[in-house]
Structure 1
Amino acid sequence: MPSILVVTVVHDPEDSRIRHRQIPALLADGWQVTYAAPFRAYGRPEPILGGLRTLDLPRAIGRDRMRADRAARDLIRTEAGTHDLVLVHDPELVAAVAGLRLRNLVWDVHEDPAAALVAKDWLPGPAKGLVGGGWRAAERLAERRHRLLLAEYAYQDRFRRPHPVVPNTVRVPAEVPAPGTDRIVYLGTVTMARGTAVMVDAARRVHAATDGGCRLDVVGGARDPESARLLDDACEEGIVTWRGFVPSATALALLPGALAGLSLLQDLPNYRHSRPTKIVEYMAHGVPVVTTPLPVAVDLVEQAPAGIVVPFDDPDATAAAILALREDPARAAAYGAAGHAAALAAYDWNTAGPQFTATLRGFLA
């Protein structure tokens, strides 16, 4: 029975990719899993599952990262030798374990850290270019020393060698209801870079145009104070229901029957080559998508077709797209059905999960 140590100090312990896709797939495949994550820092209970052992770590946030990185390094030094593989989900942990000479470390590449620096308010502007260049050099070094899994096919361009890709797919239900008329949904972490201001403004316009007949349902925690303030104000106005963090299974159960799912990411480097998981989740549950024109998002939505593409930072166009779907139920139903079919064919974790575990078994050899 193979064993694996899964480590993060950045991601929420309830992260969908880690906790609700990869770990269940590993347990189902017969692995013994140790999951080290910042449970207490996020206020999350440690899951109790057969074959799963949990360890608590500090959380790396903003400029307060060194303590978490050191704790993770110490834990990995202690635990790595008793596990067949060590799967880390944060790029900084690859740097943190430098010098430990690990031969069983796998880095799951979730994002483009260098490109993501643009949206890091805690990092001074002049330092972003320097740190970004350092990340690129660190990635090339990590590639030579460790195994990599990529969450996006586009990430391959950053590396010199081919690496297996485990995309962010979801478990797609066999059947889904048609879109309704009274709810818009947003699923995921809420930040200004992810379009909080546009989302709230659009919801206000839709609420007014429908005499309160259509509201925005936000399912996810706010990562910046301005997003939290905007959502609190919108809740007081009665145009938004903000549920905060909700466990994955409960959150996904809120999607079916929604009129539209919003993905209003800004035009930032880290988003241009990433597949927004929320779009796949909306499609999987038969919800028409309203998205900004990031390249991968446009491909997802237009190929199905599964929804409407709107300009960046445009609440008027976003509200108009939502109202157009509400006024044309047949069009909304067609988008929902096509998105569901596309997700079932290409983005179903029920298929990708066994491929993921087979890839890790290949690393054991």
Structure 2
Amino acid sequence: MRSSKKVVHLTSVHHPYDPRIYHKECLSLHEAGYDVTLIAQEAPEGQKETPIKHIPINSYSSKLKRMIQGSWEVYRIAKKEKADVYHFHDPELMMIAWLLKNKRNTVVYDIHEDFVTSLIKKDYLKKSIKRLIKISFRTIEGFFTKNFKKVLAEKYYSEIYPEGHWVLNYPTVNEQFLQHDRSNQPIEKKLLYTGNVDVQRGAHIHPEIPNIHQEVEVHFIGKCPSRYANEMKEIAGDHQDRIHITGIDRFVEKEDIEQAYLSRNWLAGIALFPPTEHYLKKELTKFFEYMNAGLPIICSNFDRWKEFIDQYQCGIAVDPYDETAIHDAIEYLIQNPNEARQMGLNGKKAVQEQLNWQTQANRLIELYDEWTT
């Protein structure tokens, strides 16, 4: 029986209430009848009542200590659980996951990002060093994960892991969003960015917007290191009063981000990222979240992104370094509120009918049922 199967999710890096790990995968498996435990760091804001058993581990200020001591702590706790399935989310845990693997259990490697591309994107690394890092990591990864099942958060990861199974990071359809009617209130001249803030995610581009368009504000809701917050204010210069950041040096929970979507009648969700190997290929999770909330999107015009925006008619794609194009996209939405609302409705419809987590939850549960039979 499925209900007797014990599943343990492992992470030493992610927040215990991470949207993919906790809100999507753990809760979906729990609702399907699996006995689910999560081993993760303790939430800085404290534990909350949940249907998922959470075993907290220590937090480490040093990345090296986390990788060594934290991984060993995860292993000691996980081994005692004697799970039918161990599902881990961080490459640094692959060695302890290998130690947990035996003939009677299943180990699942959940690949959230193209880790190698992320690792070698530092400009200061020489090409020869980047090549060595890539070859070394792939060799180590191939050895330790050979007998693991793999689930992939992005379609293009199949190029790297052809044996992997897609469980895409689509959003959970939000009932409040379904009931939220943007048509009966004026659209505000406010742009929204949600999620983690860093340079690869536009931290040096988005704060230029108040300089580019004199009427709009830009609101950031998500974890933002203080050094980036300071840099963003500097970039905005005399217009920094139109930059608003919620989440400086702290995790912002999914529920708080969802409430932010409902708090105003936003003009658009933004994702003006610089071109990097990872994002040029990726279907951005942020797109699905903006679409879920009924917001049009203003994003970089990477081929894959523009193709997505055109397919669903849900926004405007522009050159992230073309100030005139950015200004004109913002101005178009301001001057054409009906078209802006229609873009939002098109995106919401696509999420409700196709691009939603329930389709992926069904895939995950089918995989688990197959792997634990």
Give the TM-score range, shorter chain.
0.7 to 0.9
Which of 194, 199, 210 aligns to 1:187? It is 194
Cα distance in 2 for residues equivalent to 1:63 and 1:229: 27
Pair 1:14 & 2:21 matched: no
Pair 131,89 (structure 1): closer, same or farther in 2 beyond 3 Å: same
Pair 104,117 (structure 1): closer, same or farther in 2 beyond 3 Å: same
- Corresponding residue number in structure 1 for 2:93: 93
- Corresponding residue number in structure 2 for 1:71: 73
Return the offset for 1:176.
Answer: 4.1
Which of 267, 288, 304 aligns to 2:296? It is 288
Instruction: Note if contact 1:109-1:151 (Cα within 8 Å) is conserved in structure 2.
Output: yes
Cα distance in 1 for residues equivalent to 2:52 and 2:326: 46
- Corresponding residue number in structure 2 for 1:146: 148
Instruction: Note if contact 2:87-2:107 (Cα within 8 Å) is conserved in structure 1.
Output: yes
Instruction: Note if contact 1:284-1:339 (Cα within 8 Å) is conserved in structure 2.
Output: yes
Return the offset for 1:91.
Answer: 1.5
Percentage of matched positions with identical amino acids: 23
Measured against aligned partners, the alpha-carbon deviations of 1:50-104 in whole angstroms (never above 9, x if no partner) come to 342332243586555333233223333333x2x1111101122113444444442
TM-score normalised to structure 1 length: 0.87
Instruction: Note if contact 1:261-1:288 (Cα within 8 Å) is conserved in structure 2.
Output: yes
Instruction: Note if contact 1:60-1:68 (Cα within 8 Å) is conserved in structure 2.
Output: no
Measured against aligned partners, the alpha-carbon deviations of 1:35-54 in whole angstroms (never above 9, x if no partner) come to 111225xx242332234233
Instruction: Note if contact 1:111-1:274 (Cα within 8 Å) is conserved in structure 2.
Output: no
AA aligned to 1:258 is W
Cα distance in 1 for residues equivalent to 2:64 and 2:272: 27
Pair 1:270 & 2:278 matched: yes
Cα distance in 2 for residues equivalent to 1:77 and 1:309: 48
Q: Secondary structure at the match of 1:193?
A: helix
Measured against aligned partners, the alpha-carbon deviations of 1:281-331 in whole angstroms (never above 9, x if no partner) come to 001111010111234422321101110111133444323312221111122
Return the offset for 1:274.
Answer: 2.1
Pair 120,220 (structure 1): closer, same or farther in 2 beyond 3 Å: farther
AA aligned to 2:36 is V
Cα distance in 2 for residues equivalent to 1:125 and 1:56: 37
After the TM superposition, which residues 188-267 of structure 1 pair with which residues of structure 2 at under 5 Å, given as runs?
Answer: 188-206=195-213, 208=214, 210=215, 214-223=216-225, 225-232=226-233, 237-244=240-247, 245-256=251-262, 257-267=265-275
Pair 30,121 (structure 1): closer, same or farther in 2 beyond 3 Å: farther
Cα distance in 1 for residues equivalent to 2:208 and 2:339: 24
After the TM superposition, which residues 332-343 of structure 1 pair with which residues of structure 2 at under 5 Å, given as runs?
Answer: 332-343=340-351
AA aligned to 2:48 is P
TM-score normalised to structure 2 length: 0.86
Which of 140, 155, 171 aligns to 2:157? It is 155
Q: Secondary structure at the match of 1:26?
A: helix
Pair 1:166 & 2:167 matched: yes
Cα distance in 2 for residues equivalent to 1:97 and 1:360: 17
Instruction: Note if contact 1:4-1:33 (Cα within 8 Å) is conserved in structure 2.
Output: yes
Instruction: Note if contact 1:95-1:138 (Cα within 8 Å) is conserved in structure 2.
Output: no
Cα distance in 2 for residues equivalent to 1:84 and 1:22: 16
Cα distance in 2 for residues equivalent to 1:125 and 1:44: 42
- Corresponding residue number in structure 2 for 1:302: 310
Pair 1:178 & 2:182 matched: yes
Instruction: Note if contact 2:57-2:74 (Cα within 8 Å) is conserved in structure 1.
Output: no
Q: Secondary structure at the match of 1:347?
A: coil
Pair 44,309 (structure 1): closer, same or farther in 2 beyond 3 Å: same
Instruction: Note if contact 2:209-2:218 (Cα within 8 Å) is conserved in structure 1.
Output: no
Cα distance in 1 for residues equivalent to 2:96 and 2:128: 24
Instruction: Note if contact 2:320-2:326 (Cα within 8 Å) is conserved in structure 1.
Output: no
Cα distance in 2 for residues equivalent to 1:261 and 1:21: 22
Gaps of 5+ in 1: none
AA aligned to 1:265 is F
Q: Secondary structure at the match of 2:370?
A: helix
Q: Secondary structure at the match of 1:265?
A: coil
| Structural RMSD (CA) | 2.6
Gaps of 5+ in 2: none
Instruction: Note if contact 2:120-2:130 (Cα within 8 Å) is conserved in structure 1.
Output: yes
Pair 258,20 (structure 1): closer, same or farther in 2 beyond 3 Å: same
Pair 18,120 (structure 1): closer, same or farther in 2 beyond 3 Å: farther
Cα distance in 2 for residues equivalent to 1:95 and 1:313: 42
